[in-house]
Amino acid sequence: EDQVTQSPEALRLQEGESSSLNCSYTVSGLRGLFWYRQDPGKGPEFLFTLYSAGEEKEKERLKATLTKKESFLHITAPKPEDSATYLCAVPPQGGSNYKLTFGKGTLLTVNP
């Protein structure tokens, strides 16, 4: 049973065209939601951690928000260098600190 679902699977934007990526989770008692960026052929790179509903974090053109059931990664006026796969992840139910359960990711392509 998937605990993390990301949508859309792929998103193609024009440079400057703002949009949002979605990550919904079914884990109860959330102990953090993590966003990572992954470039082709490279390891995931940490972006944000969110812990409570209503929390927001920003980094350059990216802003991550969290509700009780989902998280959004808002991309404002994206540039081609923002093209990557964006992954969200949560610690699993049950209190384990030894893993992250990842969604399958959203492949973002920003055309110039």
Partner 1 sequence: EAQVTQNPRYLITVTGKKLTVTCSQNMNHEYMSWYRQDPGLGLRQIYYSMNVEVTDKGDVPEGYKVSRKEKRNFPLILESPSPNQTSLYFCASSLTGFGMNTEAFFGQGTRLTVV
**Of the candidates 106, 33, 40, the residue with the CA atom closest to the CA atom of residue 75:** 106
E-strand stretches of the chain: 4-7, 10-14, 19-25, 33-38, 45-50, 56-59, 62-66, 70-75, 84-90, 101-102, 106-111
Question: Does 8 sit behind a cis peptide bond, omega within 30 degrees of 0 on the bond before it?
Answer: yes
Q: Strand 106-111 vs strand 10-14: parallel, antiparallel, or unpaired?
A: parallel
Site string for partner 1, 47-86 (x = CB under 8 A): --x-x-----------------------------------
- The single residue among 16, 18, 20, 42 that binds partner 1, judged by CB under 8 A, is 42
Q: Which is nearer to partner 1, 14 or 28 (CB)?
A: 28
Tell the smallest beta-carbon distance from residue 6 to partner 1 (Å): 9
Counting contacts by CB under 8 A, is residue 22 touching partner 1?
no
Counting contacts by CB under 8 A, is residue 43 touching partner 1?
yes
Binding footprint of partner 1 on the chain (CB under 8 A)? 31-32, 34, 41-46, 49, 51, 87, 89-91, 96-100, 102-105
